[in-house]
Amino acid sequence: MDLSNYYDLRTLSGLAVSPDGERVAFTTTEYDEVEDERVSGLFVAPADGSGEPHRLTRASGAGSPAWSPDGERLAFTATRDRDTGIRIERDGDEEEGENGDDEPSSQVWVFDLARGGDARQVTERDRGVAEFDWSPDGERLVVAARDPTEDQEAYLDGVEDGEPIEVERLQHKQDGMGWLDDVRTYLFVVDVETREETRLDEAYGTAAGTDGTSLSPAWGESGIAFLSKRERRPDDQKAVGLYTIQPDGTGLDRVTGDEVSASAPAWGPDGARLAFVGGNPTDWYEPPEVYVTGERGYASVSGGLDRPVARYAGLSWVDDETLLTAFGDEGRTRLALLDADGEDEPSWTFGAQGDFESVRHLGTGGKTVALSVTDPSAGHDAYALSASALDDGEPERLTHLNRPLTRETPTPTCEDVRWENEDGDELHGYLYLPRDYDGDEELPLVTSIHGGPIAYDDPAFSFDTLHWTTQGYAVFRPNYRGSSSYGYEFSAAIAGEWGPKETHDVIAGVERLVESGVADADRLFATGFSYGGITTGYLVAETDMFAAGAAEHGLYDYRSAFGTDDCQNWWEADFGLPWDEEEQYDASSSIRDVDQMETPLLITAGESDWRCPPTQSEQLYVSLKKRDVPAKLVVYQDEHHAIGSPDRAIHRLEAIDAWFDEYDPEASAE
């Protein structure tokens, strides 16, 4: 497989089912080779699989599809050129800013699917719209948008023109968002027909939308729910509060207390109860649970599972009494039905899910459930089935997004791997093998370590894995202690002590694959991104079993990371404060063990990465070069923590391939 096949890759997100359950809207991420950019498209498909998906947007990207309550209109966010209809309606009045020569910002657009035609722009916020939801009557929207004062607007304009940045906030920067400011994000109620808007003055988040905190507005019969951090020191506030307010701006009420950090609010069909995902604000290892409000406050309806709500699943009401979401469970992402009263135990569902298939996004409408499912051998696609058939029904496949890629390329097989570490703990991960592997030979092994660390690898379609297996590698993805989906105790095992347990778990897993005859002991390679990069640093300080490693976008000196990255609350929660707990910070910093590193190491960084700043990679690189250890530094200009440019994503794999080839004993012998 050629790396240029990356441009054939398609991923899916943003599922929304029409209220009658007959249509499914979704967005895809695609890659434009000419423009070197990610683009997204909006599609609608019949839920019964009777027709091909119909593309609604072609000229620009789209996201967050949401059906109107009557199912005749489909709203979405997009960064498109200003709707010419606005200029005509306003007698040719062309204004500066959003309407002038500046680049367009994200706005809400609406397709009238009953009458046809192009989408109509509904919002016109100078700083764009972050999120929205429909009113129950379908006549209005609630949108979240930044709303600077005149002085703040002047400051923002000055910063864009290169004037000095001035910050007084504790959380002064955020990866992918830049230097932060004090501009509040408010909720606005917008009339869909007239575009008239009203700001809800009490519905705001302190600088939300610029610090990674979403307002997530949800409009139900009982009011508008939203999230906010608004204490005296919101950047130091651990809990995200759930609030409700009336559409006229009255009746503000805080639903949750400081003991839970809320996300993903969703009103029930009866409009009386509100479900949300809640996490422990001071112990991030504790699995997030599903809560439902009632007459006596709110209570968990999933706590007995000891399993985390999956990151992308959200919450969907199947009926007035039942919720549907996905949980991480033993290295798999599975659907579960929840009793909204909390009287019955959660029950696993979606019986058609294969052992090596994982659920990502989901949505409900009418009596239909739509899912996006990822399969290592088949790609990432949308499916739909009746809610009543979740246990034993076969879903209708709505898409074949990666057919151009999988038709020409042999996809890998996937196997469970189980092993024990030195403490006798049973561990689990996945092994991907070339399609034609018959077990008669030892293979070079790429150990690819997930980030987080509070995350997990599940069976999934991955371009990296597809590429490496077609190059003849086996790919091992271990779920070390610290990973989620195996319960609180397993995840919290590394709390305040990052490094040793994860390292020993990964090494034991690799040794198991060598002993089984799958992996060639002389051709072992390690890589990982973010916390996977951090763990790669730990590994090469602990062992010389790897022929080469690639530490990608990681941290290696936690004391110098504090205050220069955007994770100060996390470090305080896990380690304490660096001036109080120097030993804690140093014990988890692999840079302190650089004198034990001998493995040739490729080190990568994003120039604008403020999650794992590039200075961290520079420290490790210079330290290795001082010791004459083979090392190479690759810095991706203008990239944040995640690599966005397709060309750079391809270069990343080219660089890793070249590094592994250079230090592969078999390749060197040739």
Position 313 scores a pLDDT of 85
pLDDT at 100 over 60: no
The length of the chain, given as a count of residues: 670
Return the residue matching tokens 């609608």.
44
Domain membership of residue 4 (yes or no) is: no
- Between residues 31 and 669, the one the model is more confident about: 31
Q: Which residues pair with 189 in a beta bridge?
A: 142, 198
pLDDT value, residue 59 = 63
Asked, for residue 1, whether it belongs to a domain, the answer is: no
Location of structure tokens 């022929």: 547
Whether this prediction's pTM lies above 0.75 is answered by: yes
CATH of the domain at 548: 3.40.50.1820
Structural domain contains residue 349: no
The answer to whether residue 250 sits within a structural domain is: no
Bridging pattern class, strands 297-300 and 289-294: antiparallel
Model confidence at 469: pLDDT above 50: yes
Three-class secondary structure of residue 190 per DSSP: strand
| pLDDT band (50, 70, 90) for residue 89 | low
CA–CA gap between residue 632 and residue 3 (Å, rounded):
22
Tell me if 654 sits within 8 A of 662, measured CB to CB. no
* pLDDT value of position 206: 67
Which secondary-structure segment (H or E) carries 187? strand 185-191
Assess if residue 634 is contained within a domain: yes
> Which range has the worst mean pLDDT, 44-48, 83-87, 254-258, 312-316?
83-87
Burial call 161-189: b when 16+ CB within 10 Å, e when fewer = eeeeeeeebebbbbbbeeebbebbbbbbb
pLDDT score recorded for residue 46:
97
569-589 average pLDDT score: 93
In the chain, what's the furthest Cα-to-Cα distance?
77
506 lies in which domain range?
412-669
User: Is 287 part of any domain?
Assistant: no
Q: What is the pLDDT of residue 176?
A: 80
pLDDT tens for residues 416-465? 999 999 888 999 999 999 999 998 899 999 999 999 999 999 999 999 99
Within a domain: 633: yes
| 94 within some domain | no
CA distances from 335 to 343, 348, 361, 394 (A): 19, 6, 10, 15
Give, in order, the Cα–Cα distances in Å from 252 to each of 145, 224, 242, 266, 655. Answer: 19, 10, 11, 18, 54
Nearest-5° angle of CA 415, CA 547, CA 655? 85
Structural contact between residues 12 and 372, judged by C-beta atoms closer than 8 angstroms: yes
Check whether 669 has a pLDDT greater than 80. no
Calculate what percentage of the chain has a pLDDT beyond 90: 77
- Number of domains present in the structure of the chain: 1
Could you please report the per-residue DSSP string of 325-374? Answer: EEEEETTEEEEEEEETTS-SPPEE--TT--TT-EEEEEEEETTEEEEEEE
Give the residue with greater pLDDT, 482 vs 91.
482
Average pLDDT over residues 297-305: 91
pLDDT of 99 strictly over 50: no
Is residue 531 within 8 A of residue 503, CB to CB? The reply is no
With cut-offs at 50, 70 and 90, classify the pLDDT of residue 98: very low
Q: How many CA atoms, within 13 angstroms, populate the side-chain half-sphere of residue 265?
A: 31
Residue percentage of the chain with pLDDT more than 70: 95
Mean pLDDT for the stretch of residues 520-544: 97
